[in-house]
Amino acid sequence: MIIRDAFDGIRRFSEFQKSLGVAKNILASRLKALVEAGVFQVQPASDGSAYKEYVLTEKGQQVFPIVISLRQWGERFLFAEEETRSVLLDNASGQPLMPMEVRSSTGQVVQPGDCHRVRRIVSES
């Protein structure tokens, strides 16, 4: 939820705390762990104040598809029909994002039964 809020533009500890309603000590611990994991970096506040901001790193930005998938799942299954929910809109078109799909190397939509796992060492080149 911290990462989700960062994608929604939250950067300061107090903003995360207000949005999430989590105890300060727990939030501090989780933010520290996310910084240590390289998901966030701490930098001086963009407005020049004495505050610090938590900014997603490249590693953190790569979580975007996961966050979108979870949001779309939640919007589909966790709300009553007339309940207020958030909808993510494309900045260019103003339209809702398309549902996330897993696709094969040939572009076909893949369901859980359409794939299997193998273990191997993958080298980055």
Q: What is the pLDDT of residues 38-75, one digit of tens each?
A: 999 999 998 988 899 999 999 999 999 999 999 999 99
pLDDT digits (tens, 9 = 90+) for 23-44: 999 999 999 999 999 999 999 9
> What's residue 114's pLDDT?
96
Cβ neighbours of 3 (radius 10 Å): 19
Kindly report which listed range (7-11, 83-87, 104-108) carries the lowest average pLDDT score.
83-87
Residues whose CB is less than 8 angstroms from the CB of residue 95 and which lie 6 or more positions away in sequence, other chains included: 89
Indicate yes or no: pTM above 0.85: no
The tokens of 84 are what?
Answer: 């207020």
**Which residue intervals of the chain are DSSP H helices?**
2-7, 13-20, 24-36, 58-61, 64-77
Residue partners of 43: CB distance under 8 A and separation at least 6: 52, 53, 55
Domains of the chain and any CATH numbers = 2-61 (1.10.10.10)
